[in-house]
Each structure stands twice: as C-alpha cells, then as structure tokens.
Copies of this chain bind each other. A is one copy, B any other.
Amino acid sequence: MDLGVTEKVRPLIDAVRQMVEEDIAPLDAEFHGEVGKHPDGRFAHTDRQLEILNGLKAKARERGLWNFWLTDSERGYGLTTVEYAYLAEEMGKVSIAAEVFNCNAPDTGNMEVLERYGADWMKERWLGRLLEGEIRSAYVMTEPDTASSDAAQLVFEAKRDGEDYVLNGEKWWISGAGDPRCGLYILMACTDPDAPKHQRHTMFVMDPDLPGIEVLRPMKVFGADDAPHGHMHLRFTDVRVPAKNVVLGEGRGFEVAQGRLGPGRIHHCMRAIGQAEKALDLMCRRGLAREAFGKPLVELGANYDIIANARMEIEMARLLCLKAAWMMDTAGVRAAQPWISQIKVVAPLMAGRVVDEAMQMHGAAGISQDTDLASMWTHIRTLRFADGPDAVHRRQVARAELRKYTQREV
C-alpha cells in the first residue's frame, strides 16, 4: 500500500506548486475583483478575466501541466489516483487553479462519463473540446422538490416521442451553467417512474442552448452567486433531445451516475485537504506575527493545542484520502466505495474545523476579504451536501461494516 510521493509525480508536484504560488495565486484576487464588471451582467467574463484564465491555461499547457485527472489512461500522464491526489491538493490552495490545469469540477467527472460511457459521436463533439479546455460543462441532476440524496426520487421527466425525448421539469444547483463557455449538459431524467428503483432514470447529453431551457435564477451560496460560474436553477419546457443523445441506454442513468461519482467525490476531498493545509499555514504565520497581552498569539490560550489538533487532523484525513485513492487504483471504484464515503465525510468536516480555527486566529480579518479564509469556509461547507450529504455517506460506511456480519439488508 504505497501512499507516498512517487518519483514520477514528484517533479509534477513541484511544478504545480510553483505555478500555483508564483503564477496563479497573484492573479486570483484580481480575477474575482472583476466579477460583475461585464457590461452584459454577472454571468459573463470580462475581457480581463478571460485574459487571466486563458493566459494561465496556455502557460500550464506549455509546461505540460494539464489533464492530470486522466488516471490510468493513455491520453494523459497515466497517473494513479494516489499520485493525482498530491497534485489536486496543491490545486485546492487557490480557487481558480484547478481550471488552469483543466482539472476542475464538474468537467472532470463529465469528461469521465464521455470517456467511459459515451458513444463515439459524443466524444467527437464534446470530449475533445473539453480535454482542450475550450468549453466547459454542467452536470444536471439535482431537483428542487425532492431530497436528491435519494436519487430514485427524481421526477424530472423525459418522455419518448418518436426519435426524440421531450424533457420537462426543474433542476437546480447546476454548477457551471452560468458560464457562457458551458457547452455541454449531462442530464439525468426519469424515463419510467414505474420501473425498479435503479432503472427509472436515463442519462442524456445535450447542448445547453436548446429551445425551452430557461435559467430561472442563480442559486446563492451564503449570499454569493459564484458568478460567472454560477449554480443555476433551470426550467425545461418541452425541450426536445434526440434519442441518440442517451448515454449507455434508457434506464441506465444510475449506472452512469455511480461511475461518475467516485472520482468526483474524492477530488473535492483532495482539494479540501489542500485548503486545510493553506489555512494551517495562515494560522501559524498569523499566530507568530500578531501580539496581544505582550505575547505572540501562539503562546496565548489554547493556541498550541489548536495548531497541534489541526496538524493531526490534516495528517489523518490526507492518509485516509490516499488510502481511498489507493483502493480505487487497486480494487476499483466499486470496492473502494466505503472508503470514498469515509473520506467524503471526513475531509469537509476536518477542513471546516481547521479553517474555522484559522479564522479565529485572525480576528475579524479572518472573515473579511483580506484573506482567502472566509471564502474557503463557506465553500467547504457546501461540500457537506455536494455529491451526497454526510448522513448518506455515514450510512454507507455503517452498512459496509455490518455486511461483514450479516447477509440481510441493513
């Protein structure tokens, strides 16, 4: 069980870390400062934003720092998931970094769907451009009126009508659907509500500009609309999608969704661990630099314990994440599920606690625009819902444990 940094990935880690620190971090604040300045509104990039993004992406490609997430594949570096984890951690430290290296959600998951389950024409039409970073994509699953953690409940409807399906319903929290560069929707719809639980739904691919698709509003995350990326609330009214746009086959939506989620979940966790590292770094620097009552903050109150606890929590979460990655590499996504669920619970909670303490060490500066901590804190909180709430993953872990003892359904 080698969870360490391999010779192969070590220079990549160094190169990514250097580019994140030296090239991306200095532009990150400027990028976000541009939000809302586009004459057409918030959900469009300003020229400067595109210049920043495209410049950085070009530099990344030039240096060969691109598409690392294509693990075990001939298209990319053929990294293992364990190796990728170390890179993703570095990318987690600055908000726009993952996109710079074309390793950002939800595109990586969507590309995997195309790669693994897509028909050739789908790959031609969308996968190439996604791999090049020319377009972005959205994964259209969650619905407002059902607890989407129980995906069998999803009611958004796709009805067969001749050569087409006709889609009707609402979807929300469609991340990336605000981005004008979004060129692909991968959408899950109910094609047969009376079928067995896991055969009711079907996965579709489509262009986002089909007639009948309407953006109702951006969902806000603690008050922020995350423009121009956005998490959109969409309404579909009699949207016609050709039957050939079905992925894998009618009724096989769950199969596709399951295959998609493993890597996506763990990538979020890897980046969250990177954020926790960054927060601990900020916490230590602040605690040494700032004084009160005649002493540096680190020597006051419980601050030694707080720093130590942060280090221990990060260390453990990273090891668990690496083990889950190693399970994916060696036993496959399905067998690795309990470990993926474990890290999916652990990493966001851990990172949330570390960032929280880092904020506290900063005083009011910690919640302001003067550090990245505030946006890290709210972002990490969303991970406790994304790809399934904690409760659902804890249940998965418990059931995996109990299946060692009993055959009956638990």
Chain A interface (Cβ < 8 Å from any Cβ of B): 1-5, 142, 144, 147-150, 153, 172-173, 219-224, 280, 284-285, 287-288, 290-293, 297-305, 307-309, 311-312, 315-317, 319-320, 323, 339, 342, 345-346, 359-360, 363-369, 374-375, 377-378, 381-382, 384-385, 389-391, 393-399, 401-402, 404-406, 410
The reply to whether B149 and A363 contact each other, CB–CB distance below 8 Å, is: yes
| Cβ distance A63 to chain B, nearest Cβ, rounded Å | 27
| Cβ distance A247 to chain B, nearest Cβ, rounded Å | 24
| Residues of chain B within 8 A of A290, CB atoms compared | 147
The reply to whether B301 and A394 contact each other, CB–CB distance below 8 Å, is: yes
Oligomer copy total: 4
The reply to whether A391 and B302 contact each other, CB–CB distance below 8 Å, is: yes
- What would 28 A/B residue contacts be, using CB atoms closer than 8 Å? A1-B2, A3-B3, A147-B292, A150-B292, A150-B293, A153-B291, A172-B364, A219-B364, A222-B223, A222-B375, A222-B377, A223-B224, A223-B374, A288-B405, A288-B410, A300-B391, A301-B394, A302-B304, A303-B391, A304-B394, A308-B396, A312-B346, A315-B342, A319-B323, A360-B384, A367-B381, A367-B385, A378-B378
| Residues of chain B within 8 A of A220, CB atoms compared | 368-369, 374
| Residues of chain B within 8 A of A2, CB atoms compared | 1-4
| Complex CA distance for A284 and B381, rounded to whole angstroms | 21
| Cβ distance A335 to chain B, nearest Cβ, rounded Å | 15
Q: Which 10 A-B pairs have the closest CB atoms?
A: A1-B4, A302-B302, A319-B319, A308-B397, A316-B316, A147-B292, A150-B292, A304-B398, A308-B394, A301-B391
The reply to whether A402 and B307 contact each other, CB–CB distance below 8 Å, is: yes
Q: Which residue of B lies closest to A296 (CB)?
A: B410
The reply to whether A307 and B398 contact each other, CB–CB distance below 8 Å, is: yes
| Cβ distance A35 to chain B, nearest Cβ, rounded Å | 10
| Residues of chain B within 8 A of A303, CB atoms compared | 391, 398
The reply to whether B363 and A311 contact each other, CB–CB distance below 8 Å, is: no
